[in-house]
Amino acid sequence: MSEGKFKLDRTAFHAGTHSETEKYYAQNQPKTLRERLEAAHYLNSIAFQFDLQNPPRMDRSVFSMRKHPM
């Protein structure tokens, strides 16, 4: 996925009207699940400042599993 595929306009957010919401969903619903997930992944990479080709790994040492006594 190329980095120029999506643009993030940080000044564009505002509370929308019902008709604006309908227009947004009419434009974005035809996109496939994969296209929507790619866009979400790109936005996460911008928000958390990581490279799309080299995402950070989860620190598994933070989590632990144990069996509950019965």
The residue among 60 and 38 whose pLDDT is bigger is 38
- Does residue 42 fall inside a structural domain? yes
> SS3 of 3, please?
helix
Enclosing domain of residue 29: 22-50
Q: What is the pTM of this model?
A: 0.50
What single string gives the DSSP state of each residue in 19-49? HHHHHHHHHHTTS-HHHHHHHHHHHHHHHTT
Instruction: Give the Å distances, CA to CA, from 70 to 22, 31, 67.
Output: 52, 48, 9
* Per-residue pLDDT at 41: 92
Query: How many domains does the chain fold into?
Result: 1
Residue 28 is assigned to a structural domain of this protein? yes
**12-31: pLDDT as tens digits:** 666 778 888 888 888 877 88
* Confidence check: pLDDT of 42 > 80: yes
- Asked whether residue 65 is assigned to any structural domain, the reply reads no
For 48-68, write each residue's pLDDT tens digit: 999 989 888 888 788 777 787
* Inter-CA distances, 65 with 38, 58, 61, 62, Å: 31, 16, 11, 10
Q: Is residue 30 part of a domain?
A: yes
